[in-house]
Amino acid sequence: MSEPTPPPPPPPSGDRRQRPFKSSNKPSVKNDGKSDGRTDGKSGRPAMPKWSPYVLLAIVLLLIFGPQLLPGPNREKIGFEEFVTQVEAGRVDEVKLNNTTLGITGSFVDGSEFSTTAPPGFPNEVDRELLRTKGVDFQPNTPQSNWFVSLIPLLLPFFLIIGFLMWMNRRASGQMGNVMSIGRSRAKAYTTDRPSTTFADVAGYEGVKTEIKEVVDFLRMPERFKEIGARVPKGILLVGPPGTGKTLFARAVAGEAGVGFLSVTGSDFMEMFVGVGASRVRDLFQQARKMGRAIIFIDEIDSIGRKRGAGLGGGHDEREQTLNQMLSEMDGFETSEGIVIMAATNRPDILDPALLRPGRFDRQIVVPLPEYEERLAILKVHSRDKRMGPDVDLEVMAKGTPGMSGADLANLVNESALFAVRRGSSQIERIDFESARDRIMMGARRDSLVLSVEEKRTTAYHESGHAVLAAVLPNGDPLHKVTILPRGMALGVTQTLPEERHSYSREYILDRICMALGGRAAEELVFSQQTTGAANDLEVVTGLARRMVREWGMSDKVGPMAWAGQQQVFLGEDLLSSGREYSDDTARVLDEEINRILRSQETRAMELLTKHRTGLDLVAEALLEHETIDGGEVAKLVQRGLDSSAPQTPSLTD
């Protein structure tokens, strides 16, 4: 599978698909109008602490169970018979009787105390006479119950009703507060007290850094620019493919700007309520004005900045109102206010033209895919906290990863570290980088998939067709590796390493088409049959041939004419202008040219494989034996096939 390269031409995969048919910075508290927990948010009165209910509950429990928990006097517990004996002996001085529990407490003549339990019916007349005769101070008593406990059954319903009403009131107040604050901006404010990302953390992209630093310097030292009448751009739009570091640049600006920095995403403006987006835009710019000099960063601005009045049935009214408010806020700025808008998107083609005009987004900064030097710097940044082995050469890895973004390179280093852990190694070695790159570019290996003998042989010849043509075609990319081990969705993969290219010649694209058709041609040549394994190859070559004819003017019959593909209505194009712009006769010519290119390259692939049939067999046998071989081995096998099939020249002695 050929490695993806930057557009214009998407590279052919060269694989045999299994298709049966077919802030780092800590943000401050958001200014949402909510209280800070110290007042009630309405009248300014001190709010009740959160622990107050627990204190009240503890007091109630103490009143109920506290008396029972208090330690009583040290009394000797005796039986009732012994109590009677002590009374008869005249040793008891005082007796107290609890008529409710029939508990008896008292004291002896010597001062010690005792306790016992009387039987039911005590005291009768005999007991009273005995106590009176012996001179015992008898004090019967019926204690009253705890008044607080007696009030609980009466007060509990009232407490429950009052608590329920208070809960409903607070819930209604909270909902009303949320409704009233729904139009406030959700932007996060960053400060430079503890910056975690700076321009030093962004490897490469010196031109992008220079343009962004100009804006930062203007906000720091506006007098330097005003002396000669320079005006800072009001808006900066970062444009580039996903993963190239647009948001990373914004974080670096937040760490080095030295002024207020507000960060928000485009989706934060949209809500189910009408008018919320425009209200949040107004609140966002009000926050920025309060800061004096500030930077507003809007990530994924295409979610609210799409072209207005487009698509079936008109546009999205709420999004258009939000965009209108943003246009008004941006265009009403004065340079002295010192507010700069930064935005990031990977779809600048769908943005409204009014958003891109001078006075709003004055400057568009392209953040492209990194070149070799930048890839090397990015790999060094992501590898500085990793334990690298002595055989790891980041320069070689940088040369072998064209077309990868910064996020792809970060993922490559992380995947290599994971492979090292799986091997049980204490450091990352070259084999780990190779395994990680194969996994990213060709997919994870599927050990559970077992091919039959016939499928494995067909796959071997299919991949051999790709590999042989990659080795013999003069304008193709260098062959890196070919394997018949199932990876991802492919049963086999042929991987090439595209060189650093920025424009593509007609011969290069034709060689790519020819190579992609090599698998299908090898199956027809060897087995005289066609399989579904070439489904992905056919998709790729058809797309390349279509763009050659319709967009790149690489057809002599069509000439220097460009017919772009049909635009989708949801992208913001007018419905009437999104249809076909050419006649039926032109469409027939275009289809004929696309078919001619594909047919001619299929014939060319068949002729080359027929010429190198011996090399094709040798490569297929090597794949069946070793399952994976590199590009150098393929070139040797192809050359050996040529040498063995060359006619022998008779010598002079014969």
Q: What is the pLDDT of residues 42-91, one digit of tens each?
A: 444 455 676 777 777 777 667 666 655 555 567 778 888 888 888 888 88
Same domain for 42 and 61, yes or no, is yes
| Tokens encoding 432 | 């780990």
- CATH number of 106's domain: 3.30.720.210
- Domain span at residue 38 reads 34-69
Q: Could you tell me if 428 and 538 lie in one domain? A: no
Cα-Cα-Cα-Cα torsion 396, 398, 400, 401, nearest 10 degrees, comes to 160
Tell me: do 269 and 361 sit in the same domain.
Answer: yes
Statement: residue 253 has pLDDT above 70: yes
Q: Are residues 65 and 79 both part of a single domain?
A: no
Contact status, residue 252 vs residue 202, Cβ threshold 8 Å = yes
Q: Does the annotation count 463 as an active-site position?
A: yes
State whether 94 and 58 are in the same domain: no
How far, in Å, are 212, 225, 281, 377, 407 from residue 246 at the CA level? 11, 26, 22, 17, 11
Beta bridge partners of 366: 239
639 and 536 together in one domain: yes
Q: Categorize the per-residue pLDDT at 463 as very low, low, confident or very high, splitting at 50, 70 and 90.
A: very high
Residue 464 pLDDT > 90, yes or no?
yes
Asked whether residue 151 is domain-assigned, the answer is no
Q: CB–CB of 434/423 below 8 Å?
A: no
Q: Do 488 and 521 lie in a common domain?
A: yes
- What pLDDT, on the 0 to 100 scale, is given for residue 598? 95
Q: 118 and 59 share a domain?
A: no
pLDDT in tens, 150-159: 666 777 787 7
CA distances from 337 to 148, 160, 215, 608 (A): 67, 57, 14, 69
185 within domain boundaries:
no
Verify that 256 and 348 share a domain, yes or no: yes
Rounded Cα–Cα distance for residues 506 and 601 (Å): 13
Q: Does some domain include residue 195?
A: no
pLDDT class of 580 with cuts at 50, 70, 90: low
pLDDT average, residue stretch 607-631: 92
Q: What per-residue string of b and e applies to 458-485 under the rule 16 or more CB within 10 Å gives b?
A: bbbbbbbbbbbbbbbbeebbebbbbbbb
pLDDT at 156: 73
Q: Does 413 share its domain with 464? A: no
Q: Measured between alpha carbons, how far is residue 599 from residues 63, 124, 140, 513, 608 in Å?
A: 97, 125, 120, 10, 14
568 domain residue, yes or no: yes
Asked whether residue 500 falls in the same domain as residue 578, the answer is yes
pLDDT given for residue 440 in this prediction: 84
The predicted-structure confidence for 190-224, as pLDDT tens digits, reads as follows 655 555 677 777 887 888 888 888 777 877 777 77
Q: Which of 463, 524, 593, 633 is catalytic?
A: 463
Domain assignment of residue 2, yes or no: no
- Which CATH number do you get for residue 386? 1.10.8.60
Q: State residue 469's pLDDT score.
A: 94
Residue 512 resides in a domain: yes
The pLDDT score that the predictor gives to residue 458 is 92
Rounded CA gap, 386 and 432, in Å? 13
Number of folded domains in the chain?
A: 5
pLDDT digits (tens, 9 = 90+) for 530-541: 888 889 999 999
pLDDT computed for residue 493 by the predictor: 87
Residues 233 and 354 in one domain: yes
| Domain end residue (candidates: 96, 116, 141) | 141
Q: How many helices (H) and strands (E) does the chain have?
A: 21, 15
Residue position matching structure tokens 């009233």:
180
Residue type, 392: V
Does residue 597 form part of some domain?
Answer: yes
Q: What percent of the chain has pLDDT over 70?
A: 77
Lowest mean pLDDT among 79-88, 266-275, 355-364, 619-628: 266-275
pLDDT given at position 29 = 35
* Closest by CA position to 485, among listed 473, 493, 475: 493
Question: Whole-model pTM?
Answer: 0.65
